[in-house]
Amino acid sequence: MTLPASSRFQFTPDLPICRVINGLWQVSGAHGRIDPARAIPEMFTYHETGFTTWDLADHYGPAEDFIGAFRRQFAARFGAERLSEIRAFTKWVPRPGRMTRHVVEGAIDLSLSRMGVKWLDLLQFHWWDYGDDAYLDALRHLADLQQEGKILHLALTNFDTEHLRIITEHGIKIVSNQVQYSLVDRRPENKMAAFCSEHGITLLPYGAVLGGLMSETYLARPEPRRSELNTASLQKYRNMIEAWGGWSLFQELLGVVKQIADRHRVSVANVAVRAILDRPAVAGVIVGARLGVTEHMADNARVFGLELDSGDRAKLDDVSGKSRDLAKLIGDCGDEYR
């Protein structure tokens, strides 16, 4: 199995990516133990299939180390000249505080070392406290490191529209913002997507399959007990469903998605991912990969042969119209982290 040309997206002029991005939050420890002896070989299978783009972070347990090990083995097997096929987008998530050049460069150097790269393809920056404007200092230092060749492109994760605007007005070039975006959480459609489209910034959504809740497994099922939700993702997105409208409305949404999926002969997850891929400013959708535990490569590949029509979208919009306004309850993109 190989992915079609439609699976590719020119993220930046020098960075082509796969539009379904392998998310490595699942190796952080909050989703069960991941065995490196099984994980790294499976990374080769993802890559050979066409899922060549990875999303990770400095605080996702051994995620950066996994990329480093994968790259070393890849170079040994195929030659160092092919390492450019691997796209690994990491994050820096510092504790708020004084952001000196020493602090910033030390964090970037650590990621470079762990991943075994000379530069970071994409550094996605997160900041916990907007009340501390040292995030601008951090970004200025990151921009300097970009000019020096340690970072290829700068991006953000879970920034709201207002602070993305402030950053761009300070002359800092941002290429993407990673945000939660799904058929349940459509907050990016309020302000974020329009701002990004206007300023040449793309979105890298996560949460489209709600940690696995957006699947046939949970259709026509009673509300799961907390003890049944055995990963951080399931617990997180169960809380989001509760805020959005509750389990009964989610069952209605799942039923509509299943009808659409059956008509197109795909899975519920395929419809959920395709619906977000089709939204303005979206470059790719991050789908978690529990390496060596479960894999959904064949299913994820079907996303690229799926075309939703206006009738499909209208049915999804009808259910969304019955939900609570998450922007009023939570705020803009990323505000749940502050």
Q: Which long-range contacts (CB under 8 A, 24 or more apart) does 223-227 make?
A: 223/247
Q: How many Å apart are CA 68 and CA 257, to the nearest integer?
A: 38
pLDDT at 226: 84
Q: How many Å apart are CA 260 and CA 264, to the nearest integer?
A: 6
Tens digits of per-residue pLDDT, 286-336?
999 988 788 899 999 999 999 999 999 999 999 999 999 999 999 999 999
Weakly modelled stretches of the chain, pLDDT under 50 = none
Pull the structure tokens for residue 244: 């959005």
Which domains are assigned to the chain?
8-337 (3.20.20.100)
Predicted TM-score (pTM) of the model is: 0.96
Q: How far is CA 119 from CA 54, 150, 155, in A?
A: 15, 4, 14
Tens digits of per-residue pLDDT, 17-34?
999 999 999 898 877 788
What residues contact residue 84 under an 8 Å CB cut-off, 6+ apart? none
Torsion sign across C-alpha atoms 13, 14, 19, 21: negative
pLDDT at 302: 98
pLDDT at 36: 87
